[in-house]
Amino acid sequence: MNYQIQNQESMLRESIKHFLASYDSGNYDFSSFESIFFRLIQTMLDPPLEISWFYSAVTFHAAKLSPQRNPSTRVIRAKDLLDLLISCSNLSSGLKKIALLAPVVYELYSIICDSRKNGLCVKKEVDKLVEYMTSYVVMSAGVVDYGNGDVEVDKTVVCFEDLVRVWTTDRGGGSCNFGENLRVFFPLLTDGTWKGLNGRCGIRELVGIVLCEVFFLRLYLSFGSGMCTEDLLKDTRDQVVETIKEFRNFYFLDMLLKMLLEPSLPVAALLSSEDAVLLCKVLYDAVLLVDYSSYYGGRIQSYNSYSEKLAPVWVLVADSAIQFARAATDQTRATSYLNAFSESQLVAELIKWATIQAGIVDRSNIPDISTPEDLIKWLLVLEDKGIRVFDHSSISVAHAKAVISMSEGESESPEVKPYRMNLNQNTFFCNSIDANKDQEMDDLSSNGFPSDLCSMNTKVDAGRKRKEALSGLQETRAKQVKHDFSGSSVGEKFLSFSGDNGFHCGSKVKSFTSDEDMEIVG
């Protein structure tokens, strides 16, 4: 670390200390902080995130102390905050541009909650600002350097805990512990997600968090009309699929999938019980049938650490989605989810990877796999043999054990019990909806579901796929592995491996490449 950076960090720490002490003592004259940090930022082509956050926090707190003229004043301040953070990152990487926006989401969510509580009519203004912010995020995700693993990816946010306290100080942040402050500053994270954060948050995690929060904030506003119509469901579903593709960030997708394994979703508490069920349906529809080729390159050879981590969580979500649909007596949707599992490229690559890791050559040693539960059970057997498949640092492995424990009626261990309770809560939540309303929603959302959603995935020339699939089979290890899965509940062969014909699902060649290979962030 060079001398200049050390001086900046020392100056930031001291300024945060004095700001918090000043605020706690009732001295709200922040002009000196504003002046010093404004001049500092003017000397920098690309100010550090921490400097921009502190300067914008100070100016924002000062603006909040001015008299409010009308209910729209807070939205205007949020827009000014967004513009300020954008201006501080004109020459920043796409990653930093996105990470900087966490305080804007924090304030917008607060405005929405207070508006609902006090009956203020600012929805139109908030909608417009959220769309503006989302467009900026998508644009930042599309810049050239977004996926090239630049040096900022592994950078830890300096003074992260103290900066969170600066932003939340007017809401008790100065006296709360860090966990409580995280709940306030990242209001759109679930318990399972924010508990994984600590005082050392990196840029890559922060980008994933901001993308998740922008995603759920926009999704909540889509449900704000309260009109549970077929067109609303289809439009929202299409919007969600497109957003996932445009964000193309592994950490965002990993967080989103893990949130779907928890008993409640962000913003669900702000929705009616009927809309909360619809929210789950839209999300399950989207994450099970979106084309993930942009996340991991789509080639056999590219089954790397990202897809290796993503695929097991996706399988758990697929199982959760099927159980959710069955609990809601929506057999059409349950069948569609099962078809999505059977045709998934992620699943095909996960099985191939796990088979190679286990050193399995004789296909008779692999059980029939026709459902997510079958695959989870087999993967847990490999876990017992020392092959790490599920993420042991998150809810994944415990959730996997809970799925099998629940299906076999076994008594769960203390480690598994909370996740089995989560599964029961999801089922109860579905069954607790008024039967007539639930059937009406099923009719709306199931109508035309399979063909409608399956058309979302990008179609790639089959001949090119076959050629590229074949090229990946030239590896010595891969040539030894042949496996055939039969007995699918949807009446078709799940997966076969042939040195001549590549991977097949039924009569369709599996896709291992995309029209546009996009590298993953970080």
Residue 491: pLDDT above 60? no
60 vs 291, which has greater pLDDT?
60
- Domain identity same for 341 and 423: yes
Check residue 308 and give its pLDDT. 81
Structural domain ending residue among the three candidates 222, 257, 272: 222
Residue 42 clears pLDDT 50, i.e. is over it: yes
Q: Are residues 70 and 207 in the same domain?
A: yes
Tell me which residue range forms the domain holding 80: 1-222
Residue 461 corresponds to which tokens in the numbers above?
A: 């020339």
Token duo for residue 408: 């076999």
Q: Which of 38-42, 301-305, 328-332, 512-516 has the lowest mean pLDDT?
A: 512-516
Residue 235 lies in a domain: no
Report how far residue 439's alpha carbon sits from residue 121's, in angstroms, rounded to the nearest whole number.
32
- CB distance 147 to 248 below 8 Å: yes
Cα 149 versus chain centre, distance: 19
How far is CA 204 from its chain centroid? 13
Q: Which of 89-93, 280-284, 379-383, 502-506 has the lowest mean pLDDT?
A: 502-506
Answer yes or no: do 172 and 304 share one domain.
no
Which range among 168-182, 220-234, 298-312, 480-494 has the greatest average pLDDT? Answer: 168-182
Same domain for 498 and 358?
yes
Highest averaged pLDDT of the listed ranges 50-64, 162-176, 241-255, 270-284: 50-64
In-domain check, residue 453: yes
CA-only gyration radius of the chain, Å: 24
CA distance 374 to 403: 10
The pLDDT value recorded for residue 294 is: 67
- The pair of three-digit structure tokens given for residue 277, joined into one six-digit string: 């069920």
Last residue of a domain, one of 152, 187, 222: 222
176 and 318 inside one domain? no
Same domain, 136 and 272: no
Q: Where are the beta strands (DSSP E) in 270-376?
A: none
In a domain, 238, yes or no: no
Give the pLDDT confidence score for residue 128 in this predicted structure.
94
Domain total in the chain: 2
Question: At 498, which helix (H) or strand (E)?
Answer: strand 495-498
13 found inside a domain: yes
Percentage of residues of the chain with pLDDT beyond 90: 35
Which of the two residues, 138 and 409, has the higher pLDDT score? 138
Contacts of 500 (CB under 8 A, 6+ apart): none
- Distance (Å) of CA 88 to CA 100, 146, 166, 401: 9, 18, 19, 47
Q: Are residues 285 and 211 in the same domain?
A: no
The Cα 96–Cα 91 span in angstroms is: 10
Within-domain flag for 230: no
The string of DSSP codes covering 403-465 is HHHHHHTPPPPTTTHHHHHHHHHHHHHHHTS-HHHHHHHHHHHHTTHHHHHHTTSPP--HHHH
In a domain, 70, yes or no: yes
Q: What is the pLDDT of residue 154?
A: 64
- Helix axis angle for 305-327 and 345-358, nearest 10°, is 120
Q: Does residue 418 lie within any of the structural domains?
A: yes
Model pLDDT for residues 405-414, shown as the tens digit of each residue: 777 655 444 4
Residue 107 shares a structural domain with residue 193: yes
Q: Are 143 and 267 found together in one domain? A: no
Contact 100, 89 (CB under 8 A): yes
Residues 307 and 210 in one domain: no
C-alpha dihedral sign at 161, 165, 168, 172: positive
Instruction: Please check the confidence at residue 181 and state whether its pLDDT lies above 80.
Output: yes
> What is the pLDDT confidence band of residue 295, given thresholds at 50, 70 and 90?
low
Tell if the pTM clears 0.85, that is, is over it.
no
Let me know if residue 243 belongs to a domain.
no
Confidence category of residue 272, pLDDT binned at 50, 70, 90: confident
Question: pLDDT tier at 132 (50, 70, 90 boundaries)?
Answer: very high
177 and 323 together in one domain: no
According to DSSP, residue 14 is labeled H
Specify whether 155 is located in the same domain as 259.
no
Q: What is the pLDDT of residue 199?
A: 55
- Mean pLDDT to the nearest integer, 305-309: 76
